[in-house]
Structure 1
Amino acid sequence: MSAAPVAPQAESAEHHGSGPELGLLLVPPRARTGWRVVPARVLAMCTVELQKLRHDRTELYTRAVQPALWLLIFGETFTRLKAIPTGGIPYLDYLAPGIIAQSAMFIAIFYGIMIIWERDSGVLTKLLVTPTPRAALVTGKAFAAGVKAVVQAAVVVLLAAVLGVGMTANPLRLLGVAVAVVLGSAFFSCLSMTIAGIVLTRDRLMGIGQAITMPLFFGSNALYPVDLMPGWLRAVSRANPLSYQVDALRGLLIGTPSHLGLDFGVLALSTAAGITAASALLGRLAR
């Protein structure tokens, strides 16, 4: 009975005295081609970012403190005061989607610090000399921020449910919530990386990040209806992507009137613009 033919790669592995496991290391995997290249590299970058979270979950726990305080103290107090008209909706219910958007933004807005740290440690230079497009690097990091924000949003939703907030349990609506959180976080992380590409240092980025987070938050509809705002603040709110994210979350979670098509359109365009701007400035960090 004749022996079965042996593949050249296996013969090479046996010739070098390695087993079948090491043989896999000697044979490079088949390279992806065509349209699959960029999505594969985006997924790889996103996975690398999330591996950091698996090794250190402290960030998730500490980030949950602030939204909990907003709901427990601010939300409960203003629900009793009835100082902000919300169309018959309990203020805590009205506030919860805004706090989800706020906590996601606070995670993403300092994401540029990580890019600067990677520049200082030499990691960014190594990434930029690979064939991976810069847009894929930025997109992977942006959507990793989005996944972190979804985990944070789940914590806020559970806390709000414990406090008696009436939220939907419809799986399709919850999927829409996840998409809105990912898109909003991706935009704000790209904004942070864009600022990092301009200022180039962590200290400057921290100062600018702290200077813009609260105006973005208070200049949105997260805490109060747009109708209560003065005219100039309404104009700011219309230009603020956070307002569209909050509107989408509010409509999906508690069923208030919303403009989901417009909301998701603005979030998607903002994210695309953010990826483009951050990609264009990424090389400036490595100089």
Structure 2
Amino acid sequence: MNAIKSILVMMELELRRLKHDRTEIYFRAIQPMLWLVIYGPVMGSVKAIPTNGVPYTDYITPGVLIQSTTFVSIFYGLMMVWERDVGILKRLLVTPAPRYSVVVGRSMASGLRSLLQVFIILPVAYIIGVRFLPNPLYFVLALGVIFLSSGGFASVSILVASFMKTRERFMGIGQAIIMPLFFASNALYPVNLMPPILRELSIINPLTYAVDAVRGLLITGDISKLYLDLGVLITFDILMFTLSSLSFRRIIE
């Protein structure tokens, strides 16, 4: 019960932060908007990528959403490095809250931040003509998938932060993580178009399963693999929560 309370408190703290300062979310939404407004129509006009009849901009919208929210999550660990430098994390570790509740709470807080970015990008996608399925249940499930994947990647960032001693090093490793994951997923093109080595990497890439689930729920309506996608994402989250909890104390060492 104490752990659940700690998780909820950290999520509430994130909501308070977002209420007073949303500037970072707005600026980070610029890049995914460029993907949708410029890259999507340009590549769609070439008609070189098979999308099973789905307009190319519609096809990449779920991938852009997942990429942008993953970007937010991966760099969430930067805040942890800052909190370590100012002594906030030391205070957290002397509280009765279990370490895993701190990790899970911070990761879920990142999920809330990611959802706010989704609500900035989706209206832009709708305005430029992306056709979403008119199914409220599918929409809520898609938000759940995004929240779930964001929490897992936030745990990855906490794990990385436990080994990085400076914010500059963290920035470099964050970019090195997110871009390969993005291009080795089905965000921009079908998996069967990839070179063999990338195709194999996409199988173990959690981004692939997150994009597949959100694309089926928002765009195509094909949710035949939804259980597989959710199973992989839940396994990914549990694994990352566990590893991050075990290495959390390293952040202040």
Q: 1:237 aligns with which of 202, 215, 225?
A: 202
1:260 aligned residue: 226
Task: Give aligned-pair identity as a percent.
Answer: 47
Q: What is the deviation of 1:152?
A: 1.1
2:243 aligned residue: 277
Q: Secondary structure at the match of 1:85?
A: coil
2:4 aligned residue: 39
1:154 aligned residue: 119
Separation (CA, whole Å) in 1 of partners of 2:3 and 2:25: 29
Stretches of 4+ aligned residues off by more than 3 angstroms: none
Deviations 1:141-190 (A, max 9, x none): 11111111111112222111111111023121111111110111111111
2:179 aligned residue: 214
Contact 2:14 2:113 in 1 (8 A): no
Q: Secondary structure at the match of 2:49?
A: coil
TM-score where L is the length of structure 1: 0.85
1:49 aligned residue: 14
Separation (CA, whole Å) in 2 of partners of 1:200 and 1:51: 28
**Pair 1:123 & 2:88 matched:** yes
**Pair 1:77 & 2:77 matched:** no
Q: How does 1:181-192 map to 2 (within 5 A)?
A: 181-192=146-157
**Pair 1:63 & 2:21 matched:** no
Aligned length: 252
Q: Which amino acid aligns with 1:86?
A: T
Separation (CA, whole Å) in 2 of partners of 1:133 and 1:200: 23
Q: Which amino acid aligns with 1:90?
A: P
**Pair 1:168 & 2:133 matched:** yes
1:91 aligned residue: 56
Contact 2:107 2:151 in 1 (8 A): yes
Q: Secondary structure at the match of 1:199?
A: coil
97-106 vs 150-159, which moves further: 150-159
152-161 vs 178-187, which moves further: 152-161
Structure 1: tracts of 5 or more residues without a match: 1-35
Contact 2:133 2:221 in 1 (8 A): no
1:201 aligned residue: 166
Q: What is the deviation of 1:48?
A: 1.2
Q: Alignment RMSD, CA only? A: 1.1
Separation (CA, whole Å) in 2 of partners of 1:154 and 1:55: 17
Q: 1:112 aligns with which of 55, 77, 85?
A: 77
Separation (CA, whole Å) in 2 of partners of 1:166 and 1:54: 30
1:28 aligned residue: none
Contact 2:131 2:219 in 1 (8 A): yes
Structure 2: tracts of 5 or more residues without a match: none
Q: What is the deviation of 1:256?
A: 4.8
Separation (CA, whole Å) in 1 of partners of 2:182 and 2:234: 19
